[in-house]
Amino acid sequence: MLRWLIGGGREPQGLAETGEKLLELNGHTQKITAIITFPSLESCEEKNQLILTASADRTVIVWDSDTGRQVQRISCFQSTVKCLTVLQRLDVWLSGGNDLCVWNRKLDLLCKTSHLSDTGISALVEIPKNCVVAAVGKELIIFRLVAPTEGSLEWDILEIKHLLDHQDNILSLINVNDLSFVTGSHIGELIIWDALDWTMQAYERHFWDPSPQLDTQQEIKLCQKSNDISIHHFTCDEENVFAAVGRGLYVYNLHMKRVIACQKTAHDSSVLHIARLSNRQLISCSEDGSVRIWELREKQQLAAEPVPTGFFNMWGFGRVNKQASQPVKKQQENATSCSLELIGDLIGHSSSVEMFLYFEDHGLVTCSADHLIILWKNGERESGLRSLRLFQKLEENGDLYLAV
């Protein structure tokens, strides 16, 4: 079951603004593994945005985003489709499982690869020159799409190169910009790649080192568990790559090619999803049920007093999180030029927060294993909007001038 939050082609309404459910799409029999939108071409007069969903039931369903109607179900897959991506310029979409398939808007299968791996494609992104990069276990495979020409009327997909630099399974893969992409592995390897010639630009694997921040042997042992160094998710801006590594958050500067800030114990359990906000801020959610807001600050801007990060901090009282606010040691100061400071703690979920969506003008929507979807609002902004609406109403009724 999929609850659709934003109606395609319409102004952001519904859940993002009022909490109202717009559509409920029922069709899959097992968990949904991937979701993506397929917009119409700009040159097309009829604007019809589609939603594509893949599931562990080995199907992909195409939905009409305006009505929620099921357009078509594709059930010819031999394995679970774990990722979907759209190549808007070519007006095709790709599905990744044990093989890689290319489809058009009419849902015709244009071409496909041979069986790649039993583990399947875990992530897929578009790169220049009609290419895509697929994460398959420890490998990255570069594929090139060949569109029909006068000499050949058929599509084709070619394996161009295998990149074998990771030592463990690749969990995360995103584009940084038009010229580079980044990958993260189960054992905490971060690699920046050139998107044009597919060479390695930078390599980082020091996230696991616990010595600057942890004091006891028990904590060191805990930090070295493999799930505590896995890179679960990335986000980025023009200067930095933000990585969710185990329970921590790391900021990797693309120009300096090093980590410039970190919070090794940002949460009590693995960080599952992160997103960058404006004003050098970051949101993270975790298996421990917490959602936190961080700010990237220069070292000289740090306040002398620790930031309270306890469970009840949003109400103005609570314990100080010793791990998050303890003084940064000299050894770490030499290594990092910035710091991630906790500025907000959103308390509401009782189980793992799987992910969230951020709408700049309407707030934050979080979804959790506790079966709750919570809409969070910016209190300061909402207060300003209420005041503005009040003055507008007074002006419309003439009460404002009467009061003057």
Under the banding of pLDDT at 50, 70 and 90, the label for residue 74 is: very high
Q: Is residue 317 part of a domain?
A: no
Q: What is the pLDDT of residue 391?
A: 66
pLDDT exceeding 90 applies to what percent of the chain?
A: 56
Q: Is residue 85 part of a domain?
A: yes
Q: Is residue 87 part of a domain?
A: yes
* 200/231 same-domain check: no
Q: Is residue 110 part of a domain?
A: yes
* 135/180 same-domain check: yes
pTM, to two decimals = 0.78
389: exposed, middle or buried (Cβ count in 10 Å: 0-12, 13-18, 19+)? exposed
**pLDDT exceeds cutoff 70 at 254:** yes
* 62/154 same-domain check: yes
Contact 303, 295 (CB under 8 A): no
Q: What is the pLDDT of residue 62?
A: 93
User: What one-character-per-residue DSSP string does 99-124 give?
Assistant: SEEEEETT--EEEE-----SS-EEEE
* 200/243 same-domain check: no
Q: How many domains does the chain have?
A: 2
Q: Is residue 240 part of a domain?
A: yes
What residue ranges in 302-390 does DSSP mark as E strands? 338-346, 353-359, 363-368, 373-376
Q: Is residue 137 part of a domain?
A: yes
Q: Is 121 left (phi over 0), alpha (psi -120 to 50) or beta?
A: beta
* pLDDT tens profile 350-383: 999 998 988 877 788 899 999 888 888 876 666 7
* 199/281 same-domain check: no
* 285/373 same-domain check: yes
* 296/349 same-domain check: yes
Q: Is residue 98 part of a domain?
A: yes
* 241/164 same-domain check: no
**pLDDT exceeds cutoff 50 at 76:** yes
Q: What is the pLDDT of residue 118?
A: 84
Q: Is residue 16 part of a domain?
A: no
User: What one-character-per-residue DSSP string does 300-320 give?
Assistant: GG--SSPPP--TTGGGT----
* 247/390 same-domain check: yes
What is the span of the domain harbouring residue 291? Answer: 227-300+335-395
* pLDDT tens profile 301-347: 544 444 444 333 433 333 344 444 444 444 444 456 899 999 999 99
Q: Listing from the earlier edge strand, what are the strands of the sheet with 70-74?
A: 32-38, 50-55, 60-64, 70-74
Q: Domain end: 142, 174, 205, which one? A: 205
Q: What CATH number is associated with residue 147?
A: 2.130.10.10
